[in-house]
Amino acid sequence: MSQFDAIVIGGGVNGLVAGTLLSRHGKNVCIIEKSNRFGGMASYSVDGGPTLAHSLYNLSPRALSDIGIDPQHPVLSGKPVSTVSLSEDGRHIVFNSEGVFWSEGAKHPESDAWSDLTKQLITYGGLLRQLAEASPPGGQKAILSRGGLNEFLRLAKLGRGLKKLGKSEMRRFLQVVLSNVYDIVLDDLSEGPVAGMLAADAIWGSATGPRSPGTVFNLIYRLGHGGNITQPAGGMSALTDLMVEAAQKAGCVLMPETKVSRIMLHDDTVSGVATNDGRTLTAPIVLSNLAPRLTSRMTGPSAFDIETMRRVRSIRALGTAAKVNLRLKDDAALPGLPSELAHERLIYAPSVEYVEAAFNPAKYRQMSKAPVIEAFKMQTADGANWLSTIVQYASSDIEGGWTQTAKEQLAQITVETLSHALPGLSDQISGKQVITPDQIEGATGAPGGHWHHAEMSLDQLLTLRPANGMARYSMGPKGLFQCGAATHPGGDVMGLAGRNAALAALEARP
Ligand SMILES: Cc1cc2nc3c(=O)[nH]c(=O)nc-3n(C[C@H](O)[C@H](O)[C@H](O)COP(=O)(O)OP(=O)(O)OC[C@H]3O[C@@H](n4cnc5c(N)ncnc54)[C@H](O)[C@@H]3O)c2cc1C
């Protein structure tokens, strides 16, 4: 069968959610994925090692239930993990829903200040979530249309939420949301690891440091689903397998190992896609899980006006996060870390200044020699034990390119940095995998291997995401929609971009 109601190019988390939701609305849908497994960045791994993404904090229960997955499914019902800020003096700091504690159990003196600040940011995150669960406001819909009315009601609800905050809190929200995390965090906390942990959570995957404008928005975005961090039982691929199952159950046709080479147009309207192996599939709706630049390459530039092409080319996406997977010799506790903390989320970000200094080399196309690191100890399906780490900043445009020597240097820096707090770690390591942003780009197509396909900066958010005039998922020719992380509300293993795009497509072509 080569005739569909809708075709989704790319089977990342957002492509899977978009295709499944359209199928559940009665459309005959095909999801085409170039690699041999679905899930995109979320489940990408090398030789069965740990996946790129390794934790859930922003997965949308709404996107899940819209595609028929129970948000309480056993794969998703893991207990929240604590965050541990690793310290050189062995007094690690543990953050959880009860507050902040020294690793030996005593309450940290900044616990109350940290709890107050994070509670406030989580409240703001709830407000942003209301914006995230629909197209950005400001469309051209007539107020008396169903879409116009829905938008009006949603904005009214958001307005009520803001009003409920009270006058001074609302003023603070508006002041805070556009600020840099450096100032906001150090207003309430003293410089050190407690503040450093929040600064780190504001910059993962982005080409910004704590002093960059808008970094508080990124922190709030991350806290939009309440701030708990979990890991899917069976790893991230267990979650993407669940999504594949939901797509199949909804009736989607799944086409792995098939690369789309061209989006076909007829009279400025989408008519289908052509694949690398010479097949043609037709559909009046095509959703692209890829970044806008790749999508526009598939249609050819003549499908867009000059201004749109200029805006697409100007979208910023400098990937800054690499993955360094350290294979451990056995399942013993990590040196210097109490065994009960071994399976929590480990962070190396001793201060806000440290995070800012780690960003500086990225501005000059150098890798950070003292990076910010997030690590999880985990086991892969083959029984191997790993310390799976995300290393920030290792930018995609590094001077000289990501040669084997550069990769080895990054692995060495990662081990040396972690060894400040986990002395003797290098003796526990039996192998290393380094996955750099250019490799992530090669595997998934994400420009610069960028976590969110496009930088989450104030000029690329909400009605400006991915670019001015393209915020409501449709792009250029009639029937063409964007559904990936580059669109509102952005990336993470979340699913809302795919969900919102599918709803926009349904609304445009009922
Ligand atoms: C190092 C790293 C660590 C991360 N860790 C986390 C984490 O712990 N938690 C979290 O929530 N988020 C994390 N993220 C971010 C998260 O993984 C992404 O934001 C999210 O998965 C993006 O999903 P997507 O569906 O929009 O795009 P993608 O996952 O990029 O999917 C795009 C899909 O399109 C396919 N494709 C590309 N070209 C074609 C073509 N021509 N034809 C057919 N198919 C094609 C690709 O193979 C891919 O499957 C991380 C990102 C990185 C880089």
CA of residue 12 to ligand 1 center, whole Å: 6
pLDDT in tens, 112-152: 999 999 999 999 999 888 889 988 866 555 545 555 656 66
DSSP string spanning 70-139? -TT-GGG-PPPPPEEE--TTS--EEEETTEEEETTSPBPTTHHHHHHHHHHHHHHHHHHHHHHTSSPS--
- Which token pair is 255? 């086409």
What's the average model confidence in pLDDT over 405-434? 97
Highest mean pLDDT (candidates 44-53, 138-147, 175-184): 44-53
**Burial state string for 106-137 with b = 16 or more CB within 10 A and e = fewer than 16:** eebebbebbeebbebbbbbbebbbebbbbbbe
Top mutation candidate among 298, 492, 494, 500 for ligand 1, by most atoms within 8 Å of CB = 492
Percentage of residues in the chain with pLDDT exceeding 90?
85
**What is the distance in angstroms between the CA of the first residue and the CA of the last residue of the chain?**
22
| Higher local confidence (pLDDT), 174 or 248 | 248
**Residue from 8, 9, 41 whose mutation best tests the ligand 1 pocket (most atoms within 8 A of CB):** 41
Q: Given 3-state DSSP classes, what are the helix, strand and coil percentages for the chain, each rounded to the nearest 5?
A: 40, 15, 45
State the Cα–Cα distance between residues 348 and 467, nearest whole angstrom: 34
Q: What is the pLDDT of residue 197?
A: 98
pLDDT at res. 289? 98
Lowest mean pLDDT among 228-237, 291-300, 457-466: 457-466
Give one word for 334, left, alpha or beta, with left for phi > 0 and alpha for psi -120 to 50.
beta
Ligand 1 centroid distance, CA of 364 (Å)? 26
pLDDT value of residue 183: 95
pLDDT at 138: 63
Cβ of 8 below 6 Å from ligand 1: no
- In degrees, rounded to 5, the angle at the alpha carbon of residue 116 between the alpha carbons of residues 112 and 117 is 120
